């Protein structure tokens, strides 16, 4: 009797597993389409690749709902904070060439910061006071958000792109930092921008020129830039947000609203913490380079050791902050996202991927992003990669 009951139970469990497997999406399009069909997300471009080739590309939904302009792999996105990883790569190029060192004081490259002070609350004086730094701030701390800087500096608060990187150190020293260097994790565009300003000093080049010469051009990334043209704006995905009261998507802004080239607008400068635009077809090459341990299509951008440094968890006071140098680190991947929902990943299973949306807020798109990551995990299980597999999580801690 017990044996019979066991057999019945086994058949029941097998049936449940079969039903669950039948309910699982068979491919990326099937996994992501429901979010478009339910009107939760305007459009998605998802690309999965090995370091050598693209294996899956899906462009779903609309770049602009109102005009029925479809998403394509050449749609332009504001990739925002994904820019931080580009900046870390550029700094590591300088480190490899001996122009910079991660653990040397920032003041060696930006002398203005020699006298930077910490803004702290004084109970005896009942006001904020400026006190000296107890330790020297380093380039590593700038890239890992532990230098003490606020999210943005005062000149950046109204417009991140209104001040050149070369002017930031003088503005920064006047403002001071919010905590002692190395004391806390405080996510900061300003810190990344100052790392780029240091790069400008040691190379004698504007950051955007260095990035183009050493990273974008070698990778063939012709549509990644800080300076969108009128033609770029015409291909820019409009941004949407979820109106909870109305239960639907509403457009926040459209790239074609202005319809002008930057040469006709107010000054616009490169912002190393979040200023790049790109297309999915362009952006995937950057992550293929990282997934290839610094090399893409035979072109070496970084050494494997530098990629490991970028993707290694740094020492943070808050134990639950998994951040490297310009990258967030999870158990099975590393990469970075942007304010409008774009994400780039290097997965431990050897695949790389980008998930591109243009949407403020995450309540209705985080589930789609999770579905994307699950599909990449399944791809790794169904077709494991044996070569060029990125360093696993244990080696990155």
Tens of each residue's pLDDT in the chain, 397 residues: 555 444 444 444 444 344 344 567 889 999 999 999 999 999 999 999 999 999 999 999 999 999 999 999 999 999 999 999 999 999 999 999 999 999 999 999 999 999 899 887 666 666 677 788 899 999 999 999 999 999 999 999 888 898 999 999 999 999 999 999 999 999 999 999 999 999 999 999 999 999 999 999 999 999 999 999 999 999 999 999 988 888 889 999 876 554 344 445 566 899 999 999 999 999 999 999 999 999 999 999 999 999 999 999 987 656 567 899 999 999 999 999 999 999 999 999 999 999 999 998 765 678 899 999 999 999 999 999 854 444 443 444 4
Residue 397 half-sphere exposure, CB side, CA atoms within 13 Å? 9
Tokens 């709902």 sit at which residue? 65
**Predicted pLDDT at 396:** 42
pLDDT at position 390, please? Answer: 44
Q: Quote the pLDDT of residue 266.
A: 65
pLDDT of residue 361: 76
Q: What is the pLDDT of residue 314?
A: 85
Q: What is the pLDDT of residue 268?
A: 87
The length of the chain is 397
83-96 vs 280-291: helix axis angle to the nearest 10? 40
Q: How many Å apart are CA 340 and CA 58, to the nearest integer?
A: 19
| CA dist., res. 190 & res. 153, Å (int) | 6
Judging by DSSP bridges, how do beta strands 299-300 and 295-296 pair with one another?
A: antiparallel
Residue 6 to residues 1, 13, 19, 20, Cα–Cα distance (Å): 9, 10, 20, 21
CA–chain centroid gap for 281, Å, is 16
What is the model's pLDDT at position 24?
79
Torsions phi, psi for 175 (to 5 deg): -80, -35
Give the chain as a 3 state SS string. Answer: CHHHHHHHHHHHHHHHHHHHHHHCCCCHHHHHHHHHHCCCCCEEEEEEECCCCEEEEEEEEEEECCCCEECCCCCEEEEECCHHHHHHHHHHHHHHCCCCCCCCEHHHCCHHHHHCEEEEEECCCCEEEEEECCCCCEHHHHHCCCCCCCCCCHHHCCCCCCCCHHHHHHHHHHHCECCCCCCCCCCCHHHHHHHHHHHHHHHCCCHHHHHHHHHHHHHCCCCCECCCCHHHHHHECCEEEEECCCCEEEEEECCCCCCCCHHHCCCCCCCCCCCEEECHHHHHHHHHHHHCCCEECCEECCCHHHHHHHCCCCCCCCCCCCECCCCEECCCEEEEECCCCCEEEEECCCCEEEEECCEECCCCCHHHHHHHHHHHHHHHHHCCCCCCCCCCHHHHC
Instruction: Classify burial at 72, counting beta carbons within 10 Å of its beta carbon; exposed 0-12, middle 13-18, buried 19 or more.
Output: middle
Domains parsed from the chain with CATH numbers:
30-82+222-396 (3.40.710.10), 89-203 (no CATH)
Q: Do residues 183 and 148 touch, judged by C-beta distance below 8 A?
A: yes
Cα separations in angstroms, 210 against 5, 11, 144? 70, 63, 21
Report the C-alpha gap between 17 and 14 in whole angstroms: 5
Given this model, what pLDDT does residue 160 score? 86
Residue with tokens 């996202």: 337
* CA distances to 78, 203, 214, 366 from 96, in Å: 29, 13, 13, 37
- Nearest Cα to Cα of residue 287 among 141, 278, 378: 278
150 in Cβ contact with 191 (< 8 Å): no
């Amino acid at each position: 009797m017990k044996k019979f009951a066991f057999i019945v139970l086994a058949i029941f469990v097998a049936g449940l597993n079969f039903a669950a497997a039948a309910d699982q999406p068979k491919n990326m399009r099937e996994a992501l389409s429901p979010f478009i069909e339910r009107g939760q997300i305007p459009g998605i471009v998802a690309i999965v690749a090995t370091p050598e080739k693209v294996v899956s590309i899906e462009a779903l939904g609309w770049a602009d709902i109102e005009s029925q302009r479809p998403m394509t792999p050449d749609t332009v996105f504001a990739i925002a904070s994904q820019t931080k990883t580009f900046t870390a790569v550029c700094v590591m190029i300088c480190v490899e060439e001996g122009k910079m060192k991660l653990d040397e004081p920032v003041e060696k490259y930006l002398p203005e910061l020699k006298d930077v002070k910490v803004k702290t609350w004084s109970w005896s004086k009942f006001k904020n006071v400026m006190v000296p730094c107890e330790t020297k701030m380093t380039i590593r701390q700038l890239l890992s958000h532990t230098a003490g800087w606020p999210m943005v500096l005062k000149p950046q608060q109204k417009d991140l792109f209104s001040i050149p990187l070369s002017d930031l150190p003088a503005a920064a020293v006047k403002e001071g930092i919010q905590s002692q260097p190395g004391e806390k994790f405080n996510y900061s565009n300003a810190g990344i921008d100052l790392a780029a300003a240091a790069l400008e000093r040691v190379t004698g080049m504007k950051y955007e020129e260095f990035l183009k010469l050493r990273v974008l051009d070698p990778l063939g990334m012709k549509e990644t830039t800080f300076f969108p043209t009128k033609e770029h704006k015409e291909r820019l995905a409009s941004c949407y947000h979820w109106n909870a009261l109305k239960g639907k998507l509403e457009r926040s802004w459209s790239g074609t609203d202005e319809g002008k080239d930057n040469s006709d607008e107010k000054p616009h400068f490169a912002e190393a913490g979040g200023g790049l635009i790109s297309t999915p077809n362009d952006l995937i090459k950057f992550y293929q380079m990282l997934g290839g341990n610094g090399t893409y299509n035979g072109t070496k951008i970084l050494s494997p050791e530098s990629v490991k440094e970028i993707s290694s968890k740094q020492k943070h006071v808050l134990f639950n902050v998994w951040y490297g140098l310009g990258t967030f680190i999870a158990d099975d991947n590393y990469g970075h996202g942007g304010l409008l929902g774009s994400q780039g990943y290097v997965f431990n299973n050897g695949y790389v991927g980008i998930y591109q949306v243009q949407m403020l807020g995450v309540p209705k798109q985080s589930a789609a992003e999770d579905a994307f990551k699950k599909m990449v995990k399944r791809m790794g299980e169904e077709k494991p990669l044996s070569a060029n597999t990125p360093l696993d999580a244990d080696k990155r801690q």
